[in-house]
Each structure stands twice: as C-alpha cells, then as structure tokens.
Amino acid sequence: MNFGGSVKKLCSRLGFTLRRFEFPTDNPIDILATLVESRLRPDFFVLQIGANDGKFDDPAWGTIRKHQLPALLVEPIPTMFKELTANYSDQPQVTCENCAIAREDGNITLYHVRPNPSLPAYVTRVASLKRQVVLKQRGKVPNIGKFIEPISLPALSLRTLLQKHGIEKVDWLQLDTEGYDFEILKMLWATPIRPEIISFECEHLNRSDKLACASMLREAGYGYIGLGRDVIAILPR
C-alpha cells in the first residue's frame, strides 16, 4: 500500500495541500567566510583573480575588509578595475593589478559584454577567454550575442604575477575567471605555493576537467566540497 500517496489523495479531497516543511533559510552560514576566519593569523594573505569591481557578488569583499587582510586583487577589464580600485581605496593593505592571467606574458583576447541600457547590469560584468562561456547568458538574455565583443588586454603568467609582487605564500586563493579557473590552478601547481584555502568556479568545466581537477586536489592532500557552481578546497591541518 502506498500510504504517502493515499494521504495526499485524502488531503486533496479535503481541500488541503500536503507539502514538506523545509528548514528556514533566513539565516544562512557563509561557509567560506567562516572557514577563512578559522584559519586567520597575522600573516594571512589573499590572492583573488577575477575580482571584478570588488563588491558585486564577491565572496572576498566582506572578509578582506572586516579583518583588513593583505591581498592582491587581479582584474583585467579596465572599467571594472577602475571600480575595484575605488572600492578598495580605503584599504591600504590591498594591492590591485590590472591584467589577465594567461599561460604566457603578453596580450590576450577577452570576450566581454558591451554596456547597453537594454541589458541587465550584471551581464556587463561577465567576461571570459571563451566566447561560448559568455553566450551561456542567452538563457536570460536571448540577444546577448550581438553585444559580445573581443578586447585585447595585457596578460601575465601566474608565475610572473607572483614574482612581480614578491609573493611566496598564499593562504586563500579566490578564483572567478569564467571557465579558466582550472588552467590557473594548473599554473599554480607548477609553483611551490599551495594555499590552505582555494575557492573556484567549476560551473564552466566539462566532466573530464572536473574529474582531473578533483584528482589534482586529492593528490595534493586537499579535501573539497561543491557548493552550487563553486568548489571550496582546503588543506587539513
């Protein structure tokens, strides 16, 4: 006997709707911020690649400001970089770098959305080395293709970036590069640096890259958890 089904039918005949009561979500835990705060020490250092304007949907903004954490924030799009530097102008311990991260130093083509009054504001913040990644916004903005344009920007390899700023240790690596996160992790693995905490976007990785990335993290001793479109990886103490 399907007891659950019978109860639902009875409730329906009586004019009631039977629904599962979900636990309230009005006071969620910021897992990443909580994790970072559990690892804080005087020399804690943050490297964020794909910082955008530093505020919009940014997981590092609140924690960096709350604890005045030393950080290097990297953003390639000039308009976003201008906002980024303005938003962190009261944080002298934060350095901003206007470049893309690539396999080699030089220039690179990035695809971004040309600002237009007809577009949602968030869409103009999307940029990627892959045009097809930006085109994924068609689900919400069907005509976005006609607003995507290439832009040539200066690029540094991750190794050059680290050398330029004299960085020998990173405690929290925050990535949001619209499909290039795994490539940056592979560049990092070519250096001695292994951050205690890594947060990156996996949404645009294909299945094989997700599996390869997970394997790379496991072999280096990281535990990890997927949270929607993002992954948080941590080195156990």
Query: For residue range 102-122, what is the model confidence (pLDDT) as tens digits?
Result: 999 999 999 999 888 888 888
Q: Strand 230-234 vs strand 197-201: parallel, antiparallel, or unpaired?
A: antiparallel
Number of domains making up the chain: 1
The reply to whether 99 falls in a domain is yes
Domain CATH number, residue 156: 3.40.50.150
Instruction: Say if residue 4's pLDDT is above 70.
Output: no
End-to-end CA distance of the chain: 51
The reply to whether 161 falls in a domain is yes
- Using the Cα atoms of residue 114, residue 136, residue 57 and residue 213 in order, give the sign of their dihedral: negative
Instruction: Say if residue 65's pLDDT is above 60.
Output: yes
Tell me which residue of 185, 162, 157 sits closest to 95, measured CA to CA. 162
The structure tokens 């645009």 sit at 204
The reply to whether 137 falls in a domain is no
Contact 197/63 with Cβ under 8 angstroms? no
CA atoms of 158 and 191, how far apart (whole Å): 9
What pTM value is reported for the model?
0.86
The reply to whether 220 falls in a domain is yes
The reply to whether 3 falls in a domain is no
- In terms of residue numbers, what domain contains 161? 43-107+152-234
Instruction: Say if residue 13's pLDDT is above 90.
Output: no
pLDDT in tens, 130-155: 898 888 888 888 898 999 999 999 99
